[in-house]
C-alpha cells in the first residue's frame, strides 16, 4: 500500500506531468550526479545550470547563474493563504486558499513536462530532536536539489521517521518559466504546505528555509507554544572556558552570518557557531528557553565577505569536509575560473565576467557580482562549529539581541528593563532596507524582530505570543538591542564592527552576570564608557559617547514613528505593548 508521502508525490506528479521522477537519498554521490546533469543537460538562459570553479583554490565549488530577474526574495508575490483572513494580519499578503489553489493548479498543470521531478526527503533539525520537523519537497531543477542537500539534513532517514503517517511538511516547487508575472510563493499554514512557482532564488525556492522554518513554523509555534525566529545562535566562550549562549535577530543582509562566526578581537574570547539565520526556541523543563538551528548550511551574502570581515567564512568556503559548495550570481575570473565579488581580498582582476556572464572591466559603473549574490555551504565545514550543534535538545539561551541597520539615533547597545520591555524593543525595531529583497534599498522600514517578511500570521498575535512565552519562563533570557551601523557626518560607519563587536557581547555577558552597572536613556539601559573594554579601539572617546547617547528630539520623532507603525496592529496588540507605548511616550515628553 502506498504511504501518505507516496500518495502526495503521485498526486503532484499527475498535475506537473514530469517526464521522470527521481527520489533523492541525500548522498554525496547523488549530489555529484545532479551537478553533472546541471553541467551537461540542463540549461538556463542558454548556459548550463552549474559550471565548475577552480577546485585548487575553491575545493568542490560550482557557479550558478540565475535567471536575470530572479535574484532576491519577492515579498509582493509571497502570500499566506489561510481560511481566516484576519489571522494573517496587515503584515502579510493574503489570498483565500481556494483562489490560491486554483491559480497554482493552473500554473502548475504540466509545468514539469520534459523535466525531471526530484523528490527531496529532509529534516529541519536533528532527526533525533523532539523539536525537528520531517519535510518533503519536490522540485524540477538540480540547483534547488543540490542546495537543499547543503541547507538541510536530507536523507531517506526522513522517510523512516514519517513512515505511514501524514505528519510531514509539504513543499511543491517548480521554476515554471521564471516569469515574474507567473511567480508566486504561497503558504497554506492549515495544511503544512508551501507551493512555490516561478523562481529558483533561495528564499523563494529552498522551501525549508524562510517558507517552512519561519512562515509555517511561526504559525505552528503560535499554536503549540514555541517560537520560530529569524535569529543567529552562538556560544560565547570567556577566558575561563565558560560558554554563554545567545541569539540575535537582524534583518537579511545586516551581518547575521558575520556575527555567527566572528573572530573575536578581544583576547581570551571565542565564538562558537550554532546557526546564522533561524532559531527554533522551546521552553525547557528548567524554565529556560532552548534553541536549535533547524538548518544545516549557510546561504550567505558574498559581497563584503573577506578574510578581514569574516575569516571563518572564507575558511568554511575553502574547506572540503562536506561538499559541494555553490556560488550564485558572483562574478567569474575566466582566466583562473575563480569566483569574485566586491570586497573579496586581493586586487580586482583586470578582466571578469559579471554575474550575468558579460565582459566586465569596472568601467561599466555596475557591480561585477550581484549585490545579493550568495554562497551555499554546509555548516559542517565551519571551523567554529559548536560541539552542541547536533545536540537534539539545543542550547539554553541567556540573552536575546535585536538589531537593525540605523545610520542615526539607536545606540550601539541597549538593555531592556524586563521581558515586556524587551519584547517591545523587538517590536519597535526599524532597519534600512538592503538588497536581500526586491525593492528600494536604504529606506527605513519597521521590521519587528526582523520577522516582518517572515511571520506567517498577524504580528499583533505574534507580540502577544511573545508576552505569553515570557510568562511561562521562570529563567527568561535578558533582551538587548544593538546597532553597529551608526554613521558620522560623512556617512562613514563610526563603530568598526565585525570582530570588535565582541566588546559589545562582553558587556552583554557582564550584565547577565551582574558584573557591571548601566546608565538609563529613553531607549533603555546603555553601558558606562568605563565598563566597555575599548583597549586598542581607534574610535575617539567623544564619538564613543555619541554611540551611547540618544538624542531627545530625534527620539521624539522615533516615538511618533513607532506609535504610528504599531497602530496597524491595534486591534490585536497585547495590553503590555500598549502599556510600553504609553510609558515610552510619557518618558519622551
Active-site residues, by number, are 254
18 binds, among ligand SAT, Mn ion, none (CB under 5 to 8 A by kind): none
**The three three-digit cell numbers of residue 117, written as one number:** 521531478
Q: What angle do CA 364, 343, 449 make, to 5 degrees?
A: 110
Nearest approach in angstroms of CB 189 to ligand SAT is 18
Q: CB nearer to ligand SAT: give 116 or 247.
A: 247
Residue whose Cβ sits closest to ligand SAT: 203
203 binds, among Mn ion, ligand SAT, none (CB under 5 to 8 A by kind): ligand SAT
Nearest approach in angstroms of CB 458 to Mn ion is 21
Residues 6+ apart with CB under 8 A from 346: none
Q: CB nearer to Mn ion: give 196 or 252.
A: 252
151 binds, among Mn ion, ligand SAT, none (CB under 5 to 8 A by kind): none
Nearest approach in angstroms of CB 456 to ligand SAT is 14
**Which of 28, 92, 36 minimizes the C-alpha distance to 62?**
36
Q: CB nearer to ligand SAT: give 297 or 394.
A: 297
464 binds, among Mn ion, ligand SAT, none (CB under 5 to 8 A by kind): none
Strand order in the sheet with 331-333: 338-340, 331-333, 352-353, 359-360
Q: CB nearer to ligand SAT: give 70 or 461.
A: 70
Cα-Cα end-to-end distance for the chain = 70
Nearest approach in angstroms of CB 66 to Mn ion is 18
322 binds, among Mn ion, ligand SAT, none (CB under 5 to 8 A by kind): none
**Which of 23, 45, 297 minimizes the C-alpha distance to 177?**
45
Residue pair 245/271 in contact (Cβ under 8 Å)? The answer is no
476 binds, among ligand SAT, Mn ion, none (CB under 5 to 8 A by kind): none
Q: CB nearer to Mn ion: give 115 or 209.
A: 209
Q: Which residues bind Mn ion (CB under 5 A)?
A: 252, 277
Q: Which residues bind ligand SAT (CB under 6 A)?
A: 73, 202-203, 209-210, 252, 299, 436
User: Which backbone phi and psi does 446 adopt, to 5 degrees?
Assistant: -70, 135
Residues 6+ apart with CB under 8 A from 478: 398, 399, 400, 415, 416, 422, 508, 511, 512
Nearest approach in angstroms of CB 215 to ligand SAT is 11
Q: CB nearer to Mn ion: give 118 or 298.
A: 298
Residue with cell 527521481: 22
Using only the alpha carbons of the chain, give its radius of gyration: 23
Nearest approach in angstroms of CB 252 to ligand SAT is 3
- CA distance to 29, 145, 444, 585, per residue, from 375 (Å): 21, 15, 27, 44
Amino acid at each position: 500500500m502506498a504511504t501518505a508521502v507516496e500518495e502526495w508525490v503521485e498526486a503532484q506528479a499527475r498535475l506537473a506531468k514530469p517526464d521522470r521522477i527521481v527520489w533523492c537519498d541525500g548522498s554525496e554521490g547523488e549530489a555529484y550526479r545532479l551537478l553533472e546533469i546541471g553541467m551537461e543537460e540542463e540549461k538556463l538562459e542558454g548556459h548550463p545550470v552549474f559550471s565548475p570553479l577552480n577546485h585548487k583554490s575553491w575545493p568542490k565549488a560550482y557557479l550558478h547563474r540565475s535567471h536575470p530577474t530572479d535574484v532576491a526574495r519577492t515579498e509582493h508575490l509571497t502570500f499566506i493563504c489561510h481560511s481566516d483572513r484576519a489571522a494573517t494580519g496587515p503584515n502579510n499578503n493574503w489570498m483565500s486558499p481556494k483562489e490560491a489553489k486554483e491559480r497554482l493548479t493552473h500554473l502548475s498543470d504540466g509545468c514539469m513536462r520534459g523535466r525531471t521531478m526530484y523528490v527531496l526527503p529532509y529534516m529541519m533539525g536533528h532527526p533525533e530532536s523532539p523539536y525537528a520537523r520531517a519535510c518533503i519537497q519536490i522540485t524540477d531543477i538540480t540547483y534547488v536539489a543540490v542546495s537543499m542537500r547543503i541547507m538541510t539534513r536530507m536523507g531517506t532517514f526522513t522517510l523512516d521517521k514519517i513512515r505511514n503517517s501524514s505528519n510531514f511538511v509539504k513543499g511543491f516547487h517548480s521554476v515554471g518559466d521564471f516569469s515574474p508575472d507567473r511567480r508566486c510563493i504561497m503558504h497554506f499554514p492549515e495544511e503544512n504546505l508551501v507551493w512555490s512557482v516561478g523562481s529558483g532564488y533561495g528564499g523563494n525556492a529552498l522551501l525549508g528555509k524562510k517558507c517552512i522554518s519561519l512562515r509555517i513554523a511561526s504559525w505552528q509555534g503560535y499554536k503549540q507554544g514555541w517560537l520560530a525566529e529569524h535569529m543567529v545562535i552562538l556560544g560565547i566562550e570567556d577566558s575561563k572556558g565558560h560558554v554563554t549562549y545567545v541569539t540575535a535577530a537582524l534583518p537579511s543582509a545586516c551581518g547575521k552570518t558575520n556575527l555567527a562566526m566572528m573572530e573575536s578581537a578581544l583576547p581570551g574570547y571565542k565564538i562558537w557557531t550554532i546557526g546564522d539565520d533561524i532559531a527554533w526556541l522551546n521552553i525547557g523543563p528548567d524554565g529556560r528557553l532552548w534553541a536549535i538551528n533547524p538548518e544545516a548550511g549557510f546561504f550567505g551574502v558574498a559581497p563584503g565577505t573577506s578574510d578581514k570581515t569574516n575569516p571563518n567564512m572564507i575558511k568554511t568556503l575553502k574547506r572540503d569536509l562536506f561538499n559541494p559548495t555553490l556560488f550564485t550570481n558572483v562574478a567569474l575570473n575566466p582566466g583562473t575560473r575563480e569566483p569574485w565579488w566586491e570586497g573579496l581580498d586581493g586586487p580586482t582582476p583586470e578582466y571578469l565576467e559579471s554575474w550575468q556572464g558579460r565582459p566586465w572591466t569596472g568601467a561599466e559603473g555596475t557591480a561585477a557580482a550581484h549585490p545579493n549574490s550568495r554562497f551555499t555551504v554546509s555548516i559542517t565545514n565551519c571551523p567554529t562549529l559548536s560541539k552542541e550543534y547536533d545536540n537534539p535538545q539545543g542550547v539554553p539561551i541567556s540573552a536575546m539581541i535585536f538589531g537593525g541597520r540605523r545610520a542615526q539615533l539607536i545606540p550601539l547597545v541597549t538593555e531592556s528593563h524586563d521581558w515586556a520591555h524587551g519584547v517591545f524593543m523587538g517590536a519597535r525595531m526599524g532597519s534600512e532596507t538592503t538588497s536581500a529583497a526586491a525593492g528600494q534599498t536604504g529606506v527605513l522600514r519597521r521590521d519587528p524582530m526582523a520577522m516582518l517578511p517572515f511571520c506567517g500570521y498577524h504580528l499583533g498575535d505574534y507580540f502577544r505570543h511573545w508576552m505569553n512565552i515570557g510568562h511561562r519562563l521562570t529563567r527568561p533570557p535578558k533582551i538587548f538591542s544593538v546597532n553597529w551601523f551608526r554613521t558620522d557626518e560623512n556617512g562613514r560607519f563610526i563603530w568598526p564592527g565585525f570582530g570588535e563587536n565582541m566588546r559589545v557581547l562582553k558587556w552583554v555577558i557582564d550584565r547577565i552576570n551582574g558584573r557591571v552597572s548601566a546608565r538609563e536613556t529613553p531607549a533603555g539601559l546603555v553601558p558606562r564608557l568605563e565598563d566597555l573594554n575599548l583597549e586598542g579601539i581607534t574610535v575617539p572617546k567623544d564619538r564613543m559617547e555619541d554611540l551611547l547617547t540618544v538624542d531627545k528630539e530625534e527620539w521624539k520623532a522615533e516615538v511618533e514613528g513607532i506609535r504610528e507603525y504599531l497602530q496597524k496592529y491595534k486591534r490585536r496588540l497585547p495590553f503590555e505593548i500598549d502599556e510600553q507605548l504609553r510609558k515610552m511616550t510619557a518618558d519622551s515628553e
